[in-house]
Amino acid sequence: MSQGYFITGTDTDAGKTWVTLALMEYFKQQGKTVVGMKPVAAGCVWQDGQLKNEDALLIQAHASVAVAYELVNPYAYELPVSPHIAGKDNPVVLSEVLAKFDVLKQQAEIILVEGAGGWLAPINNDQDISDLAKSLALPVIMVVAIRLGCINHAKLTHQAIKQARVPCAGWIATCTDADMLVREENIQTLKAAVDVPLLGVIPFTKAPDFNQLVAFLNV
């Protein structure tokens, strides 16, 4: 039976993919086999006759075993907009995501699933990322971009996760703003406000080495 986590964020560009890749390397360094999944992605480009997402390709590349792109990213949309709009002609069907998830999780000991946008970002006209997370039944890791407004965003996201009755394993801070004032004070405020453990602080970097970022995790 594989173990895993669902990676959600406080907003778009919170650093979910970097955290997912760093966690993949973290578990590989522990001797585990790892695969990743990004079920829904918007802003894809045509490659080899199909739409592919840059983040999903990175997740595919960092897996311990070779897996088909269609398993990693079953819903790839071209427009860089909310998935429920980008996919209006091919909306996300959770049962199809679950079927691919069930295949993928048999390939490794650890599976990491990255969401799209924030916790309540819609994936079709009736469901959002929280519904996706609940259907996968994985504990959640919340990625918090440490920038102006992050305290409010993190508290609201954590509250919504609790209301959804999904276990939250902890949160990871990503220092996305090089010029963020009183960064450490913001992180300490969040440590006091959010009743799950801080699992790591990813420093600001323009060109990440995911093997080196493992040193900043404490999962």
What is the set of active-site residues? 38
Question: Which residues have a Cβ under 8 Å from the Cβ of 172 and sit 6 or more positions away?
Answer: 19, 141, 142, 143, 144, 198, 199, 200, 201, 202, 217
Distances (CA, A) of 52 to 60, 90, 100, 143: 11, 15, 17, 24
Strands 50-52 and 198-202: unpaired
* DSSP-assigned beta bridge partners for residue 168: 140
DSSP conformation letters of 172-192: EEE---TT-TTHHHHHHHHHH
> CA 18, 127, 34 angle in degrees (round to 5)?
35
* DSSP-assigned beta bridge partners for residue 36: 112
User: At residue 213, what is the residue type?
Assistant: L
Q: How far is Cα 59 from Cα 80, in angstroms, rounded to an integer?
A: 19
